[in-house]
Amino acid sequence: MTEHRSSDDTVTPFRIEIPDEALADLRRRLDGARWPDAEAVPDWSQGVPLSYVRELGEHWAHAYDWRAVEKRLNDLPQFRTEIDGLGVQFLHVRSPHPDALPLLITHGWPGSVAEFTDLVKPLTEPEDPAHAFHLVIPSLPGYGFTDRPSGPGWGVERIADAWSELMRRLGYERYAAHGGDWGAFVTAQLGHSDAARLAGIHVTMAFAAPPEGQVELDARDYAGLAALKTFQAQESGYSTLQATRPQTLGYGLADSPVAQLAWIAEKFWSWTDHDGDLEQAVPRERLLDTASLYWLTNTGTSSARLYWESHHKVPMHRVEVPTGVTVFPKDVRMPRPWIEGRFTDLRHWRDAEHGGHFPAIECPDVLVDELRSFFGPLR
């Protein structure tokens, strides 16, 4: 496949080149941070412990190598194109196997295209051509190196329309899609709005409204609902703030790398599969990759606005394309009968043994196997 180019659909190569001055400014801000009092409890119930944020901040300032992640991303083919008035940055990695299935992968918050780098080689260069994919991995509007929308309207439905156009622009008239977090909502929307072109969709965070009639639930379904109720009561403050006052929150995230770091680190700790040591699930460098991308692109505010646009407003359209769901134990699990009521051609469901909200980082081998096994029969 080759990118389709015209005067209106130009696709241009892109490289990340953060100025040295921006990295020096980050170090100055970290070294000069004013710290709050320590938490009044011996755990994370009041937020990220002071000692851990100070340790992360010291490592970020004096040991972390941004240029390494910059190179890791620049070693992959990156591009930008304008869609619906917005410049979109994306990875586009073609498989050497010409008949590979095009696969659109969408991240969520607090994620980025960087979380998928461990998937690229296994998915594009497998030994068996039947397991090969051409990968398209865009940064969401207001995230990373995609433009920040200057006005309202960039919610899940508009993003799905833009991604459909992106795949068409790249010459892919038939493709598959995968996502988690916001990426799962965008992927599900594509399954509704672009069904004619989709071979199938796979998500790691499937949502559906309760069915009108009674359905039979098993123990895992009830446990998932209980966990979701606990999450809403104890863990949802971040989403309420981002959905209602992202601009007010943004002043702190834009001015203080410590604030941006803590805001992200808390979610990695809460949403990943570990026994109290976050770095069992997510290496410190990978967490700082994410914090660096948000800080260096100044997208703490613009990324939060997606909650303002779509939180509690996401359409729950019926999805009839072939669907696969993988549920990781530290991620959201809604009852399977509810999911079957919305995704009417549910062909694959797996309760994974380990992993959380960021499986591409926590257990990429499991996610690769899931994508291969689900999409294999749909090629």
Which pLDDT tens digit goes with each residue over 37-93?
999 999 999 999 999 999 999 999 999 999 999 999 999 999 999 999 999 999 999
Alpha-carbon distance 162 to 165, whole Å?
5
**What pairing do the DSSP bridges indicate for beta strands 198-203 and 175-179?**
parallel
pLDDT tier at 8 (50, 70, 90 boundaries)?
Answer: low
Q: 208 in the Ramachandran plot: left (φ > 0), alpha (ψ -120 to 50) or beta? A: beta
* 113-127, 222-236, 346-360: least confidently modelled range: 222-236
How many angstroms from the chain centroid is the CA of residue 173? 24
Alpha-carbon distance 254 to 230, whole Å?
30
Alpha-carbon distance 30 to 222, whole Å?
44
Taking 3-state DSSP, the helix, strand and coil percentages for the chain, each rounded to the nearest 5, stand at 45, 15, 40
Q: 108 in the Ramachandran plot: left (φ > 0), alpha (ψ -120 to 50) or beta? A: beta
Q: Which whole number is the average pLDDT over 141-157? A: 97
pLDDT tier at 315 (50, 70, 90 boundaries)?
Answer: confident
What's the pLDDT at 311? Answer: 93
The tokens 């692109």 sit on which residue? 297
- CB under 8 Å to 214, separation ≥6 — which residues? none
Alpha-carbon distance 82 to 147, whole Å?
9
Encoded amino acid at 344, one letter: T
Enclosing H/E stretch for 249: helix 246-255
Q: Any idea which architecture 11-378 has in CATH?
A: 3-Layer(aba) Sandwich (3.40)
Percent of the chain residues past pLDDT 90, beyond the cut: 93
In the predicted model, is pLDDT for residue 5 greater than 90?
A: no
What's the pLDDT at 184? Answer: 98
What's the pLDDT at 212? Answer: 83
Q: Which whole number is the average pLDDT over 323-341? A: 96
pLDDT tier at 4 (50, 70, 90 boundaries)?
Answer: very low
Alpha-carbon distance 330 to 211, whole Å?
24
- CB under 8 Å to 32, separation ≥6 — which residues? none
Edge to edge, what strands does the sheet with 175-179 contain?
11-13, 78-83, 86-93, 133-138, 101-106, 175-179, 198-203, 323-327, 346-351
Domain assignments of the chain as residue spans, ordered by start = 11-378
Q: How many CA atoms lie within 13 A of 211 on its CB side?
A: 16
pLDDT tier at 365 (50, 70, 90 boundaries)?
Answer: very high
What's the pLDDT at 55? Answer: 98
What the block records as the tokens of 46 is 């009041």
In the predicted model, is pLDDT for residue 3 greater than 60?
A: no
pTM of the model: 0.96
What the block records as the tokens of 322 is 């072939």
In the predicted model, is pLDDT for residue 216 greater than 50?
A: yes
What the block records as the tokens of 192 is 């509704």
Q: Which whole number is the average pLDDT over 235-250? A: 95
What's the pLDDT at 229? Answer: 92
